[in-house]
A and B are shown apart, each in its own frame.
Chain A
């Protein structure tokens, strides 16, 4: 049977029954458009919350609690795991401070790939730092400025201070780090720790005890960030397995994931009921169409249409309705999305309601699929239409 001819005849009949066809389209739009809005709200809300978590590296940070004893090799191994985005050892916090004027700054080690620096230049060597926003404000420091920085230690009850000049490479945004601090290469933090432990730091010309040959440095902590939100909980479990207590944002992440899961369940229950209703309506519509068009269908049978071609005639008309309903529903959803986002979005880039192209594609395929199956089930009665009914023509 000629597919093009069947499609053309089905379309001409569909157009001829314009009012009935419009009713079929509107019935489907009444199901599909609210579903798109519901899913758009669910997806927009959850993806905005997820995006908020993903954009804040602190959510992915895993902080070891209590003092540990970690070798550099152990931390490097952690950094090579697939679920870890960045890992670097930390020196003792009590030894990781710097004095600039009257301001005491917390020192943090950094390296290429540090999520907090996110695109900023990375300090290299012993003379470069990145300042936190609050520290830069208090010191009135800008990128390129040199800061006279002091490091104090007590030796036999006597306070000694050594100074060095550090260049500000960049200033972190406030949302990345809200305390007074500086980010420097690990070697600077190690040098400061050595100096405060009474050792000499030849690279900076600071005197003290000589460092023992082959002495292995032990780090009490590390800075570590999971690659994705979903990697946080498995990493917490991994460290728990190593008897290492860590603090994570796993709870916040779990709350968003749970919200997403629960909204999905609600959505799919509503979608399932709505699609079942749509299936029943299309099924009944196809039954009615076969009864209503029995004379025309029997004439087509008499002229040589097979059962498959007659069934295709009925199914194609359901697909025309489904296609038009999908287009109208997408248009209505677009209007609803614009309105909802206008009303409820306060942060630029976030959405109250949002759908991706693949969601529209999925909705189209689902509507076409349900329509085709329902129409095929309802239209199967064309098999009972005899060519002789066409000859009777009554």
Chain B
């Protein structure tokens, strides 16, 4: 479903250079991976590449859903990339990324409405599973951070995407809530057979949640720049 080989991305030059190297990353449907590493190691850059919002510099192979993503970037086919994003990707953002002017129900339904999908009951079902049914009529501002993260999870899954990306989804939660949100997200993703890539600095939580863990390791090069490399499952 997702296949990356020898994908490179660099920013800046000389001592300001930062390079991310992904030697290999292969994900099948339903597979769940945590990307761990310290702040600034390149977790977000990796998520940007997987979210199809950042163009790679060098690509040996970058396929998603049997589509040549490297080719789409080379041809600058932004519309096709946006279409893939809205149809096959779901996002859980650090503080929810909810739209404050919509109520919870509309926030969850948005990813379906963008695709022109009618409500098949999945909004209410996900809300039930994520224990936010009684919050559906509220605006995000009236929710706790933990509730917002659950709404964000529901929105990420409502249109049944093939790949769910989460950027530090539990960073702003207390340990108890962090575990509950992580479990809820992974359980629902498993149900939908959606692959998950979760960027987190909380390796113990990732391991406790049953995720495969892959570290990003950084080294300083002779030019003073930094090269970060995605390691194998450890």
* Chain A interface residues (CB < 8 Å from chain B): 2, 5, 9, 12-13, 15-17, 296, 299-300, 302-306, 386-388, 390-394
Contact = CB atoms under 8 A, between A and B. Distances in A.
B53 A387 contact: yes
21 contacts: A2-B116, A5-B113, A13-B101, A15-B101, A17-B101, A296-B99, A296-B100, A299-B98, A302-B53, A303-B111, A304-B82, A306-B82, A387-B82, A387-B85, A390-B93, A391-B51, A391-B53, A393-B94, A393-B95, A393-B167, A394-B94
Interface string B151-168: 000000000000001010
Given A12-B102, A303-B114, A306-B79, A388 B54 contact: yes
Counting chain A CB atoms within 10 Å of each CB, the highest count among B54, B96, B99 belongs to B99
B53 A386 contact: yes
A15 B139 CA distance: 13
A151 B104 CA distance: 100
A391 B165 CA distance: 9
Interface residues of B, number: 32
Interface string B162-181: 00010100000000000000
B47 A303 contact: no
A253 B93 CA distance: 73
A296 B114 contact: no
Given A5-B114, A388-B48, A393-B97, A302 B54 contact: no
Given A9-B101, A390-B97, A391-B48, 15 more contacts: A2-B113, A12-B102, A299-B93, A299-B97, A299-B98, A302-B91, A304-B86, A388-B51, A388-B53, A390-B91, A391-B44, A391-B53, A392-B167, A393-B96, A394-B94
A9 to B, nearest CB: 7
A110 B29 CA distance: 99
B114 A304 contact: yes
Interface of B: 44, 47-48, 51, 53-54, 79, 82-83, 85-87, 91, 93-102, 106, 110-111, 113-114, 116, 139, 165, 167
Contacts of A12: 101-102, 106
A16 B101 contact: yes
B116 A303 contact: no
10 nearest CB pairs, A to B = A304-B86, A16-B101, A393-B93, A387-B53, A13-B101, A393-B97, A388-B53, A388-B48, A299-B97, A304-B82
